[in-house]
Chain A
Amino acid sequence: MADTARSAPSPPPRTAEISTLSFALIISVPVLIFLLVVVAYPLAYAFYLSFHEIRFFGGYSATWNGLANYSKVFSDQSFWSSLGRTLRFTVETVILTLAVGLGLALILKHLPAKWRWLRALIILPWAVSPYGAGIFFTYLGRGQTGIGTAVAGWFGSDHTVNLISARFVVEYLAVGAAWNMAPLVAFFLLANMLTTPARLYDLAKIDQMSRLETFWHVTLPPLRFTLFVFSCITTVLAMKTFDYIFTATQGGPGGASAVLTYTLYKISFVNLDLGYGAAMSFFLLAVILGATGLLYLLWGRKEERQ
């Protein structure tokens, strides 16, 4: 390391080499300080809020109330039902996103050369903001303006067909979320598929594998790690999502799509119960981390070992 200081006559001085640690530190410390601020500050502040009762009426006041906010979460019926909706929405979104992504990738892979430009169209939904996707799916599903009523109209019916019903609104929203996310999954899967040697497909033919067997034993195995990564990404995004549901249904009809993020928004920004909202947001964070951790334990570890 200190070779620049060695005996004369020396060759043209090389750039002084620094150690791995200091190089890593120089590059990453400014960013890490920034991240520390942006991660630690909100966390610490929310942590502080969660032990207080915040009041705005009659002047701002924060009163220490210990674990009261946390224990209130456990007995809050709306917390449990929102959590249920979040889990239902997340599981459905992840499964649909991966399935649609895989389907699109298979279609794109089989496109003949002169149809390749279609790839550029299929990716478009991914570029739409969750906010925009919410607007699209609210008009598409609503009884007054939606596709359901239009289709019923073709068959001479004048019924209103509402796809955003209290019963199936979560499923409908999951379809919209999958519409938004699946193209990205499809493109990463496609990139993976194109690296699978064609030789393997020839071998599968020699072995007289059926189409399903070929898919299962040749096409799928190299994709499994990508599928795992995207199941994690989609899980986190689905649990975090707020703007999409806010523009699509505003938690409705009648609270049927009030997922945890939406309930949190109402508690904190409509009811201005900041302490309680902060306490509940830690439950959401725990659920997100728990779900990704569980995915890793059940699936990711297995994929990494191979």
Chain B
Amino acid sequence: MTGRNTKTLWLALAVAVALLWTFLPMYWVVKYAFMTKTEIARFPPMLYPPDPMLASFFNIFGFDYTTAEGTVFKASGQARQIILGLRNSLIVALVVTAITTLVVVPLSYVFARLQFPFKGKLLAAILLSVSLPPVSTLIPFYTLYVQLGLTGTLFGLIVVTLTITIPIVAWMLIGFFRNLPPVELLARVDGFSRLYTLTRIIVPMARSGIMVAAVIAFLFSWNEYVYAQILVTGSNAVTLPAAMSGFLFQVPEPAQLAASLLLSLLPPFCIAFFLQKHIAEMHIA
């Protein structure tokens, strides 16, 4: 009995360490969202907001905030960028997710299950594009976009984001499709066409894998910063991370940075919650 108790104790300790590891870095910045500038600048740093308030959340959306004592916290000059960024990030992420899923599911099926000439070389090209660092592809894209007038447009950003999501999602899904039971021959014997086999048999079987792929595409697109910073900052097509960077670099505003960062974390957190339920069902990699 005591052996079991010590085991529980060790487990509880391990869980506590894991939770501290998980939340400390986030908490350390997110707490700024509820603090004033003077509280943030206090030395040594404060562990928690002494008098939590929501002013920053109003400010980043362009509203002044008056406390009960009559102190006024002015609306942020970046509010327009933040609102635009929120809208644009959503549009880009949803469009990218839809296109990526539609394109990648058949593609990875073909690569995982069928034999055809040049397959190895084509696969190598996909893997190569996963390895390309964005810093080195930025210049070519930038010059091309300047010539085509695509800088500062959502369309341009969507295209460039697809270049990130398609290869990496394909990479993950190919492994997943490979592990499905071989049902094509059976379907063939039953006289199903290839397209029918894919849409009515394989896709339903692979549902959890496809959902995970869609979610990963959404995350990569929502979190993309490098291209957005160069291609759309300051324009009407600005995305949330690029809009937020104004609080980090130009005039540091930790409270408003933390508030908008917290906001930007909500969709990924909902998705991660959904994802952890599904990963257990797909044994890929």
Stretch at the interface among A65-73, A197-205, A213-221, A224-232: A224-232
Does A144 lie at the interface of the complex (its beta carbon under 8 Å from any beta carbon of B)?
yes
Quick check: is B163 within 8 A (CB to CB) of the other chain? yes
Q: How many residues of B contact A (CB 8 A)?
A: 89
Chain B: interface secondary structure?
A: helix
Q: Are A35 and B140 in contact (CB under 8 A)?
A: no
The secondary-structure label for the interface of chain A is: helix
Q: CA separation between A121 and B117, bound complex, in Å? A: 45
Would you call A120 and B132 a contact (CB within 8 A)?
A: no
Please give the distance in Å from B105's CB to the nearest CB on chain A: 10
Q: Does A85 contact B (CB under 8 A)?
A: no
Complex alpha-carbon distance, A119 and B32, angstroms:
26
User: Which stretch in B53-61, B67-75, B257-265 binds the other chain?
Assistant: B257-265
Q: A15-B193, A261-B135, A264-B135 are in contact. Are A150 and B276 (CB under 8 A)?
A: no
* Minimum distance in angstroms from A49 CB to a CB of chain B: 7
Cβ contact within 8 Å between A195 and B283: yes
Measured in the bound complex, the distance between the Cα atoms of B20 and A100 in whole Å is: 13
A21→B137 contact, CB < 8 A: no
Is there a chain A Cβ closer than 8 Å to B201's Cβ? no
**In the complex, A111 Cα to B257 Cα: how many Å?**
36
- Contact in complex: B14, A107 (CB < 8 Å): yes
From 44 to 69 in chain B, residues with beta carbon under 8 angstroms from any chain A beta carbon are 44-45, 47
| CB <8 Å contact, A243 and B110 | no
In the complex, what's the smallest C-beta–C-beta distance from B182 to chain A, in angstroms? 14
B136 touches A278 (CB 8 A): yes
Cβ A225 vs Cβ B129 within 8 A: no
Contact of A121 among B22, B24, B111, B129 (CB under 8 A): B22
Please tell me if the beta carbons of A107 and B29 are within 8 angstroms of each other in the complex.
Answer: no
Are A41 and B44 within 8 A (Cβ)?
Answer: no
Q: Which residues of A lie under 8 Å from residue B133 when comparing CB positions?
A: 239-240, 242, 261, 264, 281, 284-285, 288
Which 9 residue pairs of A and B lie closest in terms of their CB atoms, listed nearest first?
Answer: A281-B136, A129-B223, A153-B44, A127-B268, A15-B193, A45-B140, A42-B140, A127-B272, A38-B163
Q: Which B positions have Cβ atoms within 8 angstroms of A?
A: 11, 14-15, 18-19, 21-26, 28-29, 32, 40, 43-45, 47, 103-104, 106-107, 109-111, 114-117, 122, 125-126, 128-141, 143-144, 162-163, 166-167, 175, 191, 193-196, 219, 222-226, 229-230, 241, 245, 248, 254, 257, 261, 264-265, 268-269, 271-273, 275-276, 279-285
* Extra 17 A-B pairs, beta carbons < 8 Å, given A128-B265, A129-B223, A144-B43: A15-B193, A17-B193, A17-B194, A28-B106, A35-B129, A103-B18, A126-B272, A129-B268, A131-B245, A150-B44, A158-B44, A183-B22, A191-B279, A194-B280, A247-B248, A289-B128, A292-B131
